[in-house]
């Protein structure tokens, strides 16, 4: 999908990168159903490292940008529903992402026990499900709304600010 708004396109590209990471995480979990994966395996280490870094970046920078810059503009234009709903999802995703980050980092340092794997797997599964749903909503509602909302000058300012924050 391609957007004419540079801001919407940057957010879309971020979403695509996040999907790659959570799909990789989902595949790692599927492969390790019978027991914890070996954290000495380079593929497992890569997945854990990417999941930790990308999800925290998504949550901290992407969510903050949307809430501070985009939802407020939508609300000023009279569209309160999108921002309100997505803020609620951000609030649910934030603690899941932070928990996954902590568990992934600990696993990279110490490996998984049966108990820590079960906890990681459950947190990751919930985060994956919620994140997929959240991204779909943003792709179908938020990004098209930005296409209509942003004039060329505002789009340039926002896309520049977003790019610099990354």
- For 124-142, how does the pLDDT look when each residue is reduced to its tens digit (9 = 90+)? 999 999 999 999 999 999 9
Q: Which of 2-6, 76-80, 112-116 has the lowest mean pLDDT?
A: 76-80
In the chain, the number of structural domains is 1
The mean pLDDT value for 68-90 works out to 91
At 80, is the pLDDT very low, low, confident or very high (cuts 50, 70, 90)?
A: confident
Q: Is residue 12 part of a domain?
A: yes
At 54, is the pLDDT very low, low, confident or very high (cuts 50, 70, 90)?
A: confident
Average pLDDT value for the chain: 93
pLDDT of residue 59: 82
Indicate whether 1 pLDDT > 80.
no
As a whole-number percent, the residues of the chain with pLDDT over 70 amount to 100
Q: Is residue 1 part of a domain?
A: no
Q: What pTM was computed for the model?
A: 0.91
Q: Which two tokens stand for residue 24?
A: 């990789």
Name the 3-class secondary structure at 33.
Answer: coil
Domain that holds residue 20: 6-165
Q: Is residue 97 part of a domain?
A: yes
At 9, is the pLDDT very low, low, confident or very high (cuts 50, 70, 90)?
A: very high
Task: Identify the helix (H) or strand (E) that includes residue 135.
Answer: helix 114-137
The string of DSSP letters for 47-103 reads: HHHHHHHHHHHIIIIIHHHIIIIIIHHHHHTT-HHHHHHHHHHHHHHHHHHHHHHHH
The CATH number for 134's domain is: 1.20.120.520
């Amino acid at each position: 999908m391609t957007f004419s708004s540079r801001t919407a396109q940057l957010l879309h590209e971020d979403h695509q990168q996040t999907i790659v990471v959570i799909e990789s995480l989902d595949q790692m979990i599927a492969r390790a159903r019978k027991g914890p994966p070996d954290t000495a395996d380079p593929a497992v280490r890569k997945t854990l490292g990417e999941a930790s870094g990308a999800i925290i970046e998504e949550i901290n920078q992407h969510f903050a940008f949307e809430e501070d810059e985009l939802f407020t503009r939508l609300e000023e234009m009279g569209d309160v529903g999108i921002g309100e709903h997505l803020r609620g999802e951000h609030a649910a995703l934030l603690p899941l992402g932070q928990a996954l980050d902590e568990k992934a980092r600990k696993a990279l340092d110490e490996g998984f026990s049966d108990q820590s794997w079960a906890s990681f797997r459950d947190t990751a599964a919930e985060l994956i499900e919620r994140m997929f749903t959240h991204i779909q909503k943003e792709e179908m509602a938020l990004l098209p709304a930005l296409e209509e909302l942003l004039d060329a000058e505002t789009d340039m300012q926002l896309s520049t600010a977003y790019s610099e924050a990354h």
